[in-house]
């Protein structure tokens, strides 16, 4: 099944939160999800995002029981910055990303790939996070924030995906500016994107539709 690349409009928007719920939704549909975090920065001892993702995936896919968080992330860096900056003098080998992804894909029915930061985060001199979507031949799920100003971020990210002619869906993670979201942001989405959905209310339907493709 075509992998899903979970990306966002920026850091701390809800990629891990969304991916954890996707693991559960796909498992309910009888699939064995696999998780992959190509690059994680801000790692002191253990890659926390990878650890959380793996623990959840192991609870529904026994094929992952022997893995550690470092088995589902190809590169970890201490500095909490973009991979390009956080790697310092080290190199990120794109062929290793592909190889690790292919190995993990053998352990289940669908691979959920969690990106780092937003779409235009630099990975190497040549590549940005958006380029990894094509690298893994994935369908993108864009998670956007609900805070004031997020309409701009959402539209820019949608335009970037469309310009690359990438297949994608998008949803809103409603957890910031919850009190004002209904008056400052939601009216625009309701008018311009009548079928928009939130992580809280739409992931189940998204997963059901996805496996029909």
**Residue pair 49/40 in contact by the 8 Å Cβ criterion:** yes
- How many C-beta atoms lie closer than 10 Å to residue 198's C-beta? 17
Cα separation, 60 vs 34, in Å, equals: 9
CA nearest neighbour of 39 among 110, 106, 109, 100:
100
Residue 139 near residue 4 (C-beta atoms within 8 A): yes
The torsion of the CA quartet 15, 17, 20, 22, rounded to 10 degrees, works out to: -70
Helix axes 48-58, 15-28, angle to 10 degrees: 10
β-pairing verdict for 139-145 and 168-173: parallel
- Set 37, 51, 87, 128: catalytic member: 37
- Tell me, yes or no, if 37 is annotated catalytic: yes
Query: Among all residues, which ones are annotated catalytic?
Result: 37
């Amino acid at each position: 099944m075509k992998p899903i690349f979970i990306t966002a409009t920026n850091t701390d928007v809800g990629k891990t939160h969304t991916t954890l719920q996707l693991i559960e939704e796909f498992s309910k549909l009888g699939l064995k999800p696999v998780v992959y975090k190509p690059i994680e920065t801000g790692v002191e001892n253990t890659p926390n995002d990878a650890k959380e993702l793996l623990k959840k995936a192991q609870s529904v896919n026994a094929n992952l029981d022997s893995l550690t968080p470092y088995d589902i992330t190809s590169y970890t860096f201490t500095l909490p910055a973009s991979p390009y900056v956080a790697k310092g003098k080290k190199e990120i080998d794109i062929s290793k990303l592909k190889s690790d992804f292919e190995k993990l894909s053998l352990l289940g029915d669908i691979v959920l790939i969690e990106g780092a930061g937003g779409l235009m985060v630099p990975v190497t001199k040549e590549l940005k996070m958006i380029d990894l979507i094509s690298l893994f031949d994935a369908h993108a799920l864009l998670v956007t924030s609900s805070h004031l100003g997020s309409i701009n971020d959402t539209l820019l990210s949608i335009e970037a995906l469309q310009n690359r002619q990438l297949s994608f869906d998008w949803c809103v993670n409603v957890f910031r500016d919850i009190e004002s979201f209904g008056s400052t942001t939601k009216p625009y989405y309701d008018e311009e994107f009548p079928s928009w959905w939130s992580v809280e209310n739409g992931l189940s339907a998204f997963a059901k539709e996805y496996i029909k493709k």
